[in-house]
Each structure stands twice: as structure tokens, then as C-alpha cells.
Structure 1
Amino acid sequence: MVAGETSGDLLAGLLLQGCRARWPELRSAGIGGPAMAAQGLDAWWPSEKLAVRGYVEVLRHYREIVGIREQVKQRLFKTPPDLFVGVDAPDFNLDLEATLKARGIKTLHFVCPAIWAWRAERVHKIRTSVDHVLCIFPMEPALLAQHGIASTYVGHPLANVIPLVPDKAAARARLGLRDDDTVVALLPGSRRAEVAHLCERFLKAGALLQREKPGLKLVLPAVPALRAQIDEVVSRCGMRDVVLVVKGQSHDVMAACDATLIASGTATLEAALFKRPMVIAYHMPWLSWQITQRKRLQPWVGLPNILSGEFVVPERLQDDARPDRLARDVLDWLDAPEKIGVLQQRFTALHHELRRDTAQLATDAIAHLLES
């Protein structure tokens, strides 16, 4: 198994848990993080090695990433597994899967690349690289079938992990927050480049929010590997005494908050499953942004908006991701409880749509693939 970042590690850990329940003697190895390690993965490299997004950022790490992929390939050639599972990270995994498939190793890709949002040409790569795709969104199997790619909709694993009605009071108690606090969560991403581009913007927006609403609490869940980087930015912004930085606990923070300022990515779907209003932001190097824009197929980048087919939450991207605008958008949520109520109904319906017996559906698909 290969998972390339925090969200992939979380999804892969849930998949491994289901596989181990069905096949207790299962052994797994590859690239992963703490969630996969907790399910017995023999981690050859940590998943954070692959947590790179954007064309410019990938170029900086290209040699190391290609080297890791070559070493993984040689290990698997030497000791072929019954199945290779690539979890997201399509730039890394699809090339690896194509090579393994050509050698007769069965390949499964978990999480369909977002060909419905951008880089539609990637569907041809999927067809040549993968024996089967496990899809987490309901519209994906029909799209893949048009191109002769076998797939199964298994629902989104997080829809089963996150309760339909989150316990806000319990989450606040675990974080040391009061029931009557107004709480804004700051989630600047799980990659170093995301934190470098977004953390200071989010902190400055948080300072503006506190100026407008004295007593407002800011909580920032830090990925453990990025804690030092985040602490440095917090100190540089002079906000060490006004921002609660916690180790991990992103789900507690989402459950506890009244609204969140959040980097585009899987975390936005988690926030939607927690039924929290959000402002989605993203910023990257200029060249990466220009290239990405040319390949976009939809007007939205945030998963809640993409799945809803409209802007149900604001998006502030690139030069628009200014602290003053981010703060204004968050205040618009905090000052409009009736609007939040409508959003929560939308997100509850989405939660039901994504909730399936993922472990059963996924392991059924894996068993069928292994037997074919």
C-alpha cells in the first residue's frame, strides 16, 4: 500500500482495518503514516515524503520522489504482493501501478482521481494502470465505466467515522473550551507548502476576527510533523498567547468550532460532515496556479461545493485569499445563524449520501479482484 499524505493515511488506515477484520492473517507494507501503522503496516517510508502539491513544489522534490518510487518498485518485483493498493497520490501511484500491472501484479486504486474536476486526460492513465478503482463519490463509477474502467462505489469511509450529530460539548470539554465560547478553527493544511502559504494569512484573519469579536477563541490543530513550522509562524505573528495550537485532534477541533477557515482539500469534506460552516482558501506559487487553472473543469475547488454543484460555502483562492476578506467571510457565518441552519441541512443530506458499509463493499471488491 502507498498513501501519500495525512488524508490518504487516514483513508488507508480505515481500509486496512476492514481488510484485517476480513483477513486476520493479512500482511501489509509500503508507504504510510500513523493510521496505517496502527493497522499493522510495515512502513518503508513515511507518507509525508509524498505530501507535495503543485508543479513547482514537485520539481523541488522530484529526484527524491522518483528514487523512492523506484525502490518501492524493485522491492515489489523481488517479492510480488497478492495486491498493490495505491491510495490517492495519483502522480506517484498511477505510474507505479502501470509498471506493476505490466508485471502481472494486480492493482487497486482507492479514491478515484478527480477527473471530473480537472485533468480529465488522466482517465487514459487510469485505464492502463489499474485493475479496479474504489470510488468514494457516487457519480464516479458511471464516469469510469464510459472509459472501460472497472470500479465500485464504496461510500466515503469518513462518513461512517464522523457521527451524524457531532457532540460539540464533549469536543469542547476535551479541548478546554467553554460551552458559551465563540470558536473559530484554523486549518491551514497538512503539507509544508500549504502551511507556508496559508498559515500566516489565517492567523492574520484570526486577529481581525478577535478585534471584531473580543473573546473569540482561535484553535489550530497541527499535524505533528508540522508542529515546529506552525509554532514558528504563530510566534512570528505575535499570536502565541491568543491561538490554541493542539497536536492533531482535527476532528475534535471541527466538532468544537462554530466556523472554520480551512485549506482546500479532504479536510473541507470532513468539516462538511461535521456540519460546520467554513471559508475555503488556497494559495500556491504563481506558476503552479497558472498551470492548474488551465486544467480546471469546474468553477469550484472545495469538495462541499463540488458535491453540491454550487457555492454553498465561500472560496477565496490565490490573490483573493487576503486576511481581510477571509475574516469578513467568517464573520458573515457567525452573524447569520439562520444561514448556518440551512447549510447544516445540506450537509446532513450529503452525509447520508456518502454513508455506506465501506469495509464490506471494499473487501468484497478486493476479494472479487483477487479471485479473478
Structure 2
Amino acid sequence: MMSAAPRLALVAGEASGDLLAGLLLQGLRTRWPGLQAAGIGGPRMAAQGFESWWPHERLSVFGYVDALKRLPELLRIRRQLGDRLLDERPSVFIGVDAPDFNFGLETRLKAAGVRTVHFVCPSIWAWRGERVHKLKAAADHVLCLFPFEPPLLQRHGIAATFVGHPLADAIPLEVPRAAARQALGLAADATVVALLPGSRRSEIAHIAPRLIAAAARMARQRPQLQFVMPVVPGLRGLVEPLLARAQSEGDYPATLRLLDGQSHAALAACDLTLVASGTATLEAALFKCPMVITYHLSALNWWRMKRMRYQPWVGLPNILSQGFIVPELIQDDATPEALAREGLAWLDDAPRVDQLRQRCVGLHQQLRRDTANQAADALAQVLALA
């Protein structure tokens, strides 16, 4: 235990990074109540006393085309942030995911003697494996969410610790289904489908219309279905025009309700989710929720990503299980008809649902490791304070 709380600098891009960093900061404050933290983050980090110098939305990009358009702005923010951090010299810098932004910043800070930690190992085991060399130059230590990652990094001479996944600590093993339904005003006996189109603006544009159209097709076959769509605060204005257009075209489920955030309540309450690939698929698994994973990018982004893939799976539940325990409909396969068909198949197969839920309990137990305490131990070692 150190005599004075550390001063942390963090950068978290997008809603998923803000969620992970917020949970991490909450736990670290238990160890170091006087902890100070600043940098780039979102509302969940701010709720833990984090001082955000830029909002995390400024780092949100979708694929290569969007990144190229935003490159001058992103480079300017990174340069200005690096200048400030070198002047203020935090105890440690923690880059939360966002490797394309954080690696360059971490490398600069590390070369200047600022200790650096990268939280969330980049998915070098899935695609773009050459990033391991950039990670080695950037980070003094890596906090890994998954158990197979530290041995992989250690083979490349990178110090790493498996700390578990903070969501596995935050989400209860026993799903609070009844309470979630009551909170959302859903009947106990309703059949509920959650639509999760992602947290980026471009994901909303590419994926939300497919989910809405799929829901309309499911509703035509089963009018009693209830649909909820959690939307990241601030992006409701992007979704409402899509719903209005679908309504005018007659391709809209009458029982669809938008939620401001509340994705965890939706996943706890639902019988099925149609979900964009990303952290939300792991959240769905931790809520033991049957799911259909989907994704869609521009043609150029898809061509480049497809060339660099190492594994047949894109969804985290499937990657962790090394098999297709839930269906994936990606790019050209992500049609409303296919999404509706795979979704209804879950609702008609109770034994399959039970088997999936048992697998998800095992994943939950594997990832539940008291992440904040494990991360605090690792940070103390990095700071030579153990």
C-alpha cells in the first residue's frame, strides 16, 4: 500500500472503453480513495471523479475511411495531450483499448520515462498480429481481460497480467430478470427481443436499419413480441429518423420502444438479442442471453478487415468458446430475413437455450476475477509500490 494515492492519466475511446475504465476506476478508488485521474473519457469515468480534458466521442471512428477523414484532428489531440502529460508527469498512464490512438501516445510517454499500462490486450490473436511489436514498444505492462492472452504476450517479452473482465464482476451470476422487466415496464410473461445496434454513429447507420427491419419481419410472424432498443445517450437523434423512415415504409414493429441507455436492463429482461459484434456480445453472454451476432461495414472496410482475419469467429462468446455457440451474420449475410430467421429459431428451441445458458455461466465464472483488485496489484508493481 502506497503512502499517497497515485495520479493516473487515462484515455478511453468510445462507450465500451468508458464502461471498462469507469468500472476500473470505481474499484481502484477502494484501494486508493484519494486517487486523481484525468485525460480523455466519458460519463461513466466522470461519475468516478475523472476529469475529462476531451470527450471520448472525439476518438470514435468507424473503419479506415472514417479514420483517414479524422486523422488530422486525432493527431492534433494526441500531440496536445502528450505535451500536457509530459508537463504534468502522472504516476502512470493507462491506455484503455483504442490501440490506434493510444499506442503512439504510450510510446512517446514511455520513452520519456512515464510508466505506461495498456488495459485490454488488442485482439492480435484474431487479426493484425503485427501490432504486438507496437504494443511492446508502447506498454510497460498489459492488463488482459482473457486468460489466454498473457502467455501469448509473454512469448513476445511483454509483461502482462490476466485481471479478468470488470463486466463479469459487475453483472450478477443470477440474472435479475424480474427486476429488470419491472424497471422497464415489461410484463413478466412477455416475449422480449432487445436490439443492440452498437455505440458508434456509423454502426447506427449501417446496422440499426437491418435490426429494425428484422424486428418487423419477426413481428409479422409473432405480433405478440415486444422489442426494446437501448441507444447510447446522445445518439437517439440518429435512431429516431431511421424509425420514422421504417414506419413510413411499413417496415416497422409497432411494439418497438427506444431506451435511453439501459442496455444492461434490456439484456437482463430480454429472451433474445440481435446484437452488433463488440463488447455488447460479451455483456449478452454474461446475462446468459440467446443472441444473434451481426455486423456490417462499408465495402472497403470489410475487404480490408476480411484479409486480416485469423479466426472464423468475430463475436466474443464464440471466440472464447472456440466454436459457434451462437450464430453470426456478418456483412452480406446480415440481411433482415436472415436475422429474423435466426432470432425466431432461438425462441423455438428451449433445450438449445438451456445449453447456451450453461455455457455462459462457465464463461462468466472464468472471467470473474475481482478485476479492480487484480489491476490495483499490477499497477502497484508497475509503480514499484508493492
TM-score by shorter chain over 0.5? yes
Partner residue of 2:302?
289
Shift in Å, 1:170: 0.9
Q: Does 1:164 pair with 2:173? A: yes
Q: 1:97 aligns with which of 93, 106, 129?
A: 106
Displacement after TM superposition at 1:241 (Å):
4.7
Q: In structure 1, the residue corresponding to 2:234 is in which secondary structure?
A: helix
Q: Secondary structure at the match of 2:203?
A: helix
> Which runs of no fewer than 5 residues in structure 2 stay unpaired?
1-9
- Displacement of 1:359: 1.4
User: Where does 1:1-372 land on structure 2 (aligned, <5 Å)?
Assistant: 1-238=10-247, 239=252, 241-371=254-384
What amino acid is the match of 1:272?
A: A
Identity score, percent: 58
Q: Which moves more between the two structures, 263-272 or 232-241?
A: 232-241
CA distance in 2, matches of 1:48, 1:258: 31
Q: Which amino acid aligns with 2:372?
A: A
Contact 2:225–2:255 (CA under 8 A) maintained in structure 1 = no
Once residues 350 and 64 of structure 2 are traced to their aligned partners in structure 1, the CA distance between those partners, rounded to angstroms, is 40
Is contact 1:234–1:240 with CA below 8 Å preserved after alignment? no
Does the Cα contact within 8 Å between 2:215 and 2:253 map onto a contact in 1? no
Check conservation: 1:184, 1:258, Cα contact below 8 A.
Answer: yes
* Deviates further, 196-205 or 76-85: 76-85
The residue type equivalent to 2:279 in the other structure is T
Instruction: Give the distance between the partners of 2:151 and 2:37, measured in 1 at CA.
Output: 30
Whether the 8 Å contact between 2:277 and 2:295 is mirrored in structure 1 is yes
Report deviation, 1:18. 1.7
Rounded Cα–Cα distance in structure 1 between residues aligned with 2:227 and 2:69? 33
Two-structure CA RMSD over aligned residues (Å): 1.0
Per-residue displacement from partner, 1:242-280 (whole Å, max 9, x unpaired)?
Answer: 311010000000000000000000000000000001000
1:240 CA displacement:
8.1
Query: Secondary structure of the equivalent of 1:113?
Result: coil
The farther-off stretch of 48-57 and 87-96 is 48-57
Is the 1:171–1:252 Cα contact (8 Å) retained in structure 2? yes
AA matched with 1:60: K
1:193, distance to aligned residue in structure 2 (A)? 0.5
CA, structure 1 residues 180+240, in 2 after alignment: closer, same or farther (shift >3 Å)?
closer
1:319-362 per-residue CA deviation (whole Å, 9 max, x = no partner) reads 11000000000000011011000000001001000010211110
**Equivalent position amino acid for 1:337 in 2:** A
Deviates more, 1:248-257 or 1:43-52: 43-52
State the distance in 2 between where 1:161 and 1:234 align.
Answer: 32
SS of aligned partner of 2:36: coil
Query: What TM-score does the superposition give when structure 2 sets the normalisation length?
Result: 0.95
Q: Deviations over 1:170-195 (max 9, x none)?
A: 10111110011111000000000100
Task: Give, as a single letter, the amino acid of the residue that structure 1 aligns with 2:144.
Answer: C
* Contact 2:212 2:253 (8 Å CA) reproduced: no
Q: Structure 1 stretch 96-105 or stretch 64-73: which is displaced more?
A: 64-73
- Measured against aligned partners, the alpha-carbon deviations of 1:95-133 in whole angstroms (never above 9, x if no partner) come to 110011011100000000001111111000000110000
Q: Any idea what SS the aligned residue of 1:198 has?
A: helix
Structure 1 unmatched runs, 5+: none
1:111–1:136 contact (8 Å) kept in structure 2 = yes
User: For 1:168 and 1:51, how far apart are their aligned partners in 2?
Assistant: 32
